[in-house]
Amino acid sequence: MFGPIEIPNKSSFKINEVCALTGVKSYVLRFWESEFTEIAPMTSSSGQKLYEHRDIEAILLIKKLLFEDKMTIERAKAEMKILMPRESLVEANFADNFSFEDDEALHEDEFLANDSIPEAPAYPERNSQKEVVRETSAPSMTKRVLIESDFQKLMAAKSKLQEILNITEGLHHKNHWS
């Protein structure tokens, strides 16, 4: 009944964007927010609700449970606790494998163990943006797209964090902190 959707590569979405993506009316969405802890939008400094990818995934899963599987709200709440445990919502889950266009995989161990920043892998051109596709926790409903520039930004951030860690460790050692 509900086909898979592709969530745009943005960090946050306004309520009207979420409604357009999911096909859920805003008043229904606000009600679901009060019933399901898995939908937890941030509030901007102007008071506007901003939804993340995980919120959209939760909304789509709730929609499926209620409308397609014909569950009651109470049963859907229980099912959501199993299907989307809170721990998985807190983590970015980038530890999962990414599927590259050329079928290579970047594993967490390789990503975390590598102290140097590798050159960004070369992928075949595709619409002038190079894409890395990763299925989300609800693979039949959503698909995230990570473009090469995002990968490069992640690697640069990793490098800066490593520098900060090295400086911090040096300070700990120099000042004999535990």
Q: Is the pLDDT of residue 128 over 60?
A: no
Query: Same domain, yes or no, for 96 and 64?
Result: no
Look at residues 91, 121, 146 and tell me which one is the last residue of a structural domain: 91
> Same domain for 77 and 149?
no
Same domain, 73 and 140: no
Residues 77, 4 share a domain: yes
Count of structural domains, the chain: 2
Give residue 150's pLDDT.
72
- Would residue 127 be called left, alpha or beta, if left means φ above 0 and alpha means ψ between -120 and 50 degrees? left
Residue 137's pLDDT band (boundaries 50, 70, 90)? very low
Which backbone phi and psi does 135 adopt, to 5 degrees? -75, 145
Residues 54 and 137 in one domain: no
Contact 39, 59 (CB under 8 A): yes
1 with 71, same domain? yes
| Element housing 145 (H / E) | strand 142-147
Q: Evaluate whether 129 touches 154 at the Cβ level (below 8 Å).
A: no
- Which CATH number characterizes residue 30's domain? 1.10.1660.10
Question: 4 with 87, same domain?
Answer: yes
Residues 8 and 45 in one domain: yes
102 versus 15: the higher-pLDDT residue is 15
| Distance of alpha carbon 131 from alpha carbon 8, whole angstroms | 12
Domain closes at, from 67, 91, 115: 91
List the structure tokens of 1.
């009944």
What's the distance, Cα to Cα, between the start and end of the chain in Å? 58
Rounded Cα–Cα distance for residues 21 and 6 (Å): 9
Q: Do 98 and 121 meet the contact criterion of CB atoms below 8 Å apart?
A: no
Judgement on whether residues 107 and 65 belong to the same structural domain of the protein: no
Predicted pLDDT at 85: 74
Q: What is the pLDDT of residue 144?
A: 56
Q: Among the three residues 37, 72, 91, which one is the final residue of a domain in this structure?
A: 91
Q: Are residues 98 and 178 in the same domain?
A: yes
Instruction: Tell me the mean pLDDT in the region 16-38.
Output: 95
Q: What's the token pair of residue 69?
A: 């599987």
Indicate if 5 and 80 belong to the same structural domain: yes
Measure the CA–CA gap between 69 and 67, rounded to whole angstroms.
Answer: 6
130 is in which domain, residue-wise?
92-178
pLDDT classification of 154: cutoffs 50, 70, 90: confident
Instruction: Tell whether 33 and 66 lie within a shared domain.
Output: yes
